[in-house]
Every structure is written in C-alpha cells, then in structure tokens.
Amino acid sequence: MKAVSPVVPNYVDGRWIESISTECLEVINPATREQLAIVKPAAKAEVDEAVRAAKRAFTQWRQTPPIVRARYFFKLRELLERDFEEISQILTSENGKTIAEARGSVRRGIENVEVACGVPSLMQGANLEDVASGVDCEVVRQPLGVFSCITPFNFPAMVPLWFFPLAVACGNTFVVKPSEQTPMSQKKIFELVDEVGFPPGVINLINGAGDAARALIANPDVVGISFVGSSKIAESVYREASAKGKRVQALGGAKNFVVVMPDCDLDKSVANLIDSIYGCAGERCLAASIVLTVGDIHEPLKRKLVEAAKKLKIGNGLSESVTLGPVISQKHKERVISYIEQGIKDGAALVLDGRKPQVAGNLRGFFLGPSVFDNVTPEMTISREEIFGPVACLMKVNDIDEALRVIQQGEYGNATSIFTQSGKAVRKFKYEAGISMIGVNIGVPAPMAFFMFGGAKRSFFGDLKAYGRDGIEFYTDKRIIISRWF
Ligand code: NAD
C-alpha cells in the first residue's frame, strides 16, 4: 500500500500546526516523480493568525538588544552548518538541481545569516553635534513591524534566507511563504529556527500558493513584502502592496544576454557559459539565455559549446556525477518544449535538440537535455521571453555596439556578462548595458550576501534591492532627532 505522504505543517507562534484546508497540492520529486509530501494551502484565517502572532511578538523583540538578537542567528548559523548536507539533499529531492548546485545555494543562504550576525554594526545610525548653536542631531534606525517574503521554487532554501535573517536581526518579526512546489527545505530550516528557540511569533512559516500570498499582501499589519518570482506576478504584487502603503521589493523574471568578444579566452568562456546556461537546468534568474557572439568567434564558440553541452550527464541530482538535473514539473517541461517548437517555427536552427534526452538510470522524471539554437534574431519569441530551461540561443552580431543595442532593447534587466580580455570593451559594456548585475568573464554574476541582489527594467519592481546594505535600509526606517537642552 502506498504510504500516506506527510502534510507540510505551518509554523506559527512557535508551534507546528497542520492547516485546516481541505485542498491538497502534491510536492513531487522531479527526478523520480515520487510524491514527497502534501501542501494544504493556508486559508486566509490561518495567514492572519500568523501575522497576529508576529505582531504580538514585535513589541518585545524590537526591545531585545541587537547583540542579543544577533546571537540567535549565530546559533542558527551553527545549526545550518551542522545540517548542511541534509538540507542540500532535501533541496535536490524537491527541486531537482544537482547536489553540487544545492550545496552552493545553501552556502549562499548561510552567508546571509552570517551578514545578519553583524546587525549591531550594520544598523547603526549617524549623529552630528552643533547642527546649530547648542543643537545636536542624531539618526537612528528602527524596525517597522511584521515583514513577509513570498519566494519561488528555484532556490527554495536560499531565497527566504536572503530576507528573514536580516529583517528579524533588525528587530522586525516575519512570515515566510515559500513556493508550494518546493516547501521541504524551508520546513527543515524552520526545524532549526525552532531548535534555536526564537521567542514564539518572531519567525513564522505559512505554506500555500497564490491565495496565501495574497492574504499576506492584503493584511494591514504586514508592513512590507519581499517578493521573488515571475515578472507578471512581481509587478502585480508591487502595485497591490505599494497601493496599500507597504514597502515592497519585488524581484521578477529574466532574459540574460552574454556577449562573447573575439579576443576572449574561448575554452574558459565556454566552461563558464555551460554552467551559466545549463546549471540548475536553466532555472536560474541569472542563467545566460542569449549568447551574442561578436564577429568571427561565432563558429568556434558554437562548435565548442555544442561539444561541451553533449558531455553533460543527465540524471538524478543526488548522484555526484550528474551535471544536469530535471526541470521542476511536467507542466514546466512542456512549456520549455513549446518554446523550442516556437523557435523552430520562427526559423532558428536547432543545432542540439534536448527534447528526448538519454537519462542515467532510466528515471521517469521531468528531464530535458541541453538544447542549442543558432541563427536566433531579436524579434523571435525565444529571444524575448524567459524560457527558464536548458536552452541556449546564439545570436551573431558585428560588434559590441550592436550587442549593446540588442541588450538595451530587451524587456528584462537582471544580469548580463561579457567575455573578453579588453578593458576598453568592459568599460563600455558596464557603462552602457543598463543591466543591474554584470559579470566580466563570469557567467553567473551572483552578488554575495554583503552586497545587494536585484535587477532593472521588468526584472525588478521597487527601489531597494535584496539583502546587504539595501536590506538594512528596506527593513528599517531612519528616524531623525534634533535636540536642544535648556
Ligand atoms: P512564480 O511567480 O510562479 O511564484 C513565485 C511565488 O509567488 C510563489 O511563492 C507563488 O506561490 C507566489 N504566487 C503565485 N501566484 C501569486 C499571486 N497571484 N500573487 C502573489 N504571489 C503569488 O515564480 P516561480 O515559477 O516559482 O519561480 C520562477 C520565476 O522566479 C522565474 O521567472 C525566475 O526568473 C524568477 N526568479 C527571480 C529571481 C530574481 O532574483 N530576480 C530569483 C529567483 C527566481
């Protein structure tokens, strides 16, 4: 008899609670199609209860000295290190990415906790004596109340860690709403939150999909939202939450261009491109999607890229030798295939077809092999829309000016990279691309936790980016006090 799958519970007010909802969403291992768990999407009343718990906890928590708040995160960091491998394996099972990729993203998540440990220094304000005769001025940062994050399926362990550690270390309280497709690594991380012993209500977890997210946005006691997901939803979250007077940072989708100049180190550039295009099965907001080859580099690059792509080993990411895992679901696999079909219809040349891949171990999962399109032009659908799968589009351009024109016309502005030995080309590229995260001979320009993360154009709605100093700004308000003593 098939084992009954465990329901992923919510964590509210320091207690694990199973949702009362009668709806069930399956959590599926994308490599094996095995059912891992069930999500019962939280009803509005349950979301509101989590927000009430967070609001109740706020008064005491904001009065807890920052150094004491930081110590909770030192402890959380230790527990995340202790269970690093277990979290990475859960992540691979729920999302499909390879175990090396999972470890990399958990590491990036822990780095955000490490930054949050520095909050007593990071949160400091400023002051100046004698702004007028006998008058002093000081600026202090204060937390604002209950914040929430709504996060995507592709980095389920890491992305919530971009937000709640810094927000909570700043003295706010928090509700996390992970993707309904990949709730398992957050469940594990919240077991550690529980083990740390944060006061009840300081950090809460609500499972569910769009309705649970909308209930958080609608709740008047939620003062700010950190959203990460597709652009259409990011834009609607931005509009709705900001219209209600909330702070919002909404990180959206991407369509990233990479420029390869004729003077690049070809072998190293191709190795970087393979990781950027096919890493995490292309389900990465920093994934290279369109490779703009400048001049004569086109043919040699195409040959080497196809050769290297053919060497990727497709299979269950839990096996150390696998280098390309499945995409998240059957629906998503069909979506990627429909883009490949559209590309063929629009006249691009499919020089490597990944639609029917050879999979190690004969697994039934949602696998796609690497695909490469040549002769791609800017007006094609595959050039304009986010595919979010293991598909490369090669577009030949004459010079860097033409490459920059194509990039500037793109709707998205998350990331871009250039591969070259020329400082002059790099300077022009950085200056003119108009994209927020730029790599120079780096295919995945992922900023570290002590900088900030976020795009431009339709890849980002808001002004303060995720984490780093922008995170401190986002999660605190600056209060200015002008004093005279008679
Ligand atoms: P998605 O937009 O479908 O879902 C993201 C989150 O929004 C989920 O938690 C989902 O439950 C919730 N949601 C669904 N409907 C909603 C609604 N109507 N209102 C509010 N919330 C709602 O995204 P996904 O498929 O999980 O993730 C992939 C997308 O995320 C890609 O577009 C990718 O580029 C993007 N992404 C962006 C970044 C970035 O930093 N810019 C990082 C990772 C992923």
Please tell me if the CB atom of residue 412 comes closer than 6 angstroms to any atom of ligand 1: no
Average pLDDT (196-207) is 98
The whole-angstrom separation of Cα 141 and Cα 172 is 12
Give alpha helix (H) positions in 22-127.
44-63, 66-82, 84-95, 99-116, 119-122
Compute the distance from residue 21 Cα to the ligand 1 centre, in Å: 22
Nearest protein CA to atom 40 of ligand 1, as residue: 251
| Identity at 131, one-letter amino acid code | V
**Cβ partners under 8 Å of residue 481, min gap 6:** 137, 138, 139, 140
Mutate to test the pocket of ligand 1, among 47, 108, 230 (most ligand atoms within 8 A of CB): 230
Confidence of residue 2 (pLDDT cuts 50, 70, 90): very low
| Identity at 351, one-letter amino acid code | V
The whole-angstrom separation of Cα 152 and Cα 237 is 14
The whole-angstrom separation of Cα 263 and Cα 397 is 15
Nearest protein CA to atom 33 of ligand 1, as residue: 253
Confidence of residue 348 (pLDDT cuts 50, 70, 90): very high
Average pLDDT (53-64) is 98
Please tell me if the CB atom of residue 206 comes closer than 6 angstroms to any atom of ligand 1: no
Please tell me if the CB atom of residue 183 comes closer than 6 angstroms to any atom of ligand 1: no
Phi-psi region of 467 (alpha: psi -120 to 50; beta: other; left: phi over 0): left
pLDDT at 5: 62
- Which pair of tokens denotes residue 296? 């004569």
Closest ligand 1 atom to Cα of 233: 2
Please tell me if the CB atom of residue 368 comes closer than 6 angstroms to any atom of ligand 1: no
Torsion angle of alpha carbons 13, 6, 212, 414, nearest 10°?
A: 100
pLDDT at 1: 41
Confidence of residue 74 (pLDDT cuts 50, 70, 90): very high
| Identity at 9, one-letter amino acid code | P
Summarize pLDDT for 448-463 with one digit per residue, the tens. Answer: 999 999 999 999 999 9
Please tell me if the CB atom of residue 253 comes closer than 6 angstroms to any atom of ligand 1: yes
Nearest protein CA to atom 22 of ligand 1, as residue: 210
Report CA torsion sign: 299, 304, 310, 316: negative
Please tell me if the CB atom of residue 254 comes closer than 6 angstroms to any atom of ligand 1: yes
Spatial contact of 314 and 324, defined as CB atoms under 8 Å apart: yes
Please tell me if the CB atom of residue 224 comes closer than 6 angstroms to any atom of ligand 1: no
Confidence of residue 360 (pLDDT cuts 50, 70, 90): confident
Nearest protein CA to atom 13 of ligand 1, as residue: 210
Average pLDDT (107-126) is 98
- Which pair of tokens denotes residue 226? 């950190």
Spatial contact of 50 and 203, defined as CB atoms under 8 Å apart: no
- Which pair of tokens denotes residue 227? 């959203």
Summarize pLDDT for 379-430 with one digit per residue, the tens. Answer: 999 999 999 999 999 999 999 999 999 999 999 999 999 999 999 999 999 9
Compute the distance from residue 228 Cα to the ligand 1 centre, in Å: 5
- b/e per residue, 338-349, with b = 16+ CB within 10 A? ebbeebeeeebe
The whole-angstrom separation of Cα 33 and Cα 27 is 9
Please tell me if the CB atom of residue 228 comes closer than 6 angstroms to any atom of ligand 1: yes
Average pLDDT (77-98) is 98
- Active centre residues (catalytic): 285
Residue in the structure block whose two tokens are 């190690």: 360
Confidence of residue 361 (pLDDT cuts 50, 70, 90): confident
Looking at the chain, the whole-number percentage of residues with pLDDT higher than 70 is 99
Helix or strand run (H / E) with residue 250: strand 247-251
The whole-angstrom separation of Cα 256 and Cα 245 is 32
Q: Quickly count: other Cβ atoms within 10 Å of residue 267's Cβ.
A: 10
Summarize pLDDT for 163-188 with one digit per residue, the tens. Answer: 999 999 999 999 999 999 999 999 99
Residue 158 C-beta-side C-alpha neighbours within 13 Å: 22
The whole-angstrom separation of Cα 83 and Cα 138 is 43
Summarize pLDDT for 277-308 with one digit per residue, the tens. Answer: 999 999 999 999 999 999 999 999 999 999 99
Closest ligand 1 atom to Cα of 229: 30
**Domains present along the chain, CATH in parentheses:** 7-252+459-484 (3.40.605.10), 256-440 (3.40.309.10)
The whole-angstrom separation of Cα 222 and Cα 204 is 13
Closest ligand 1 atom to Cα of 252: 41
Phi, psi for 78 (deg, rounded to 5): -60, -40
Compute the distance from residue 153 Cα to the ligand 1 centre, in Å: 7
Residue 243 C-beta-side C-alpha neighbours within 13 Å: 8
Spatial contact of 117 and 77, defined as CB atoms under 8 Å apart: yes
Q: Is the pLDDT of residue 4 over 70?
A: no
Closest ligand 1 atom to Cα of 178: 9
- Does the pTM of the predicted model rise above 0.95? yes
Please tell me if the CB atom of residue 352 comes closer than 6 angstroms to any atom of ligand 1: no
Residue in the structure block whose two tokens are 């790099």: 426
Nearest protein CA to atom 43 of ligand 1, as residue: 285
The whole-angstrom separation of Cα 96 and Cα 81 is 22
pLDDT at 362: 81
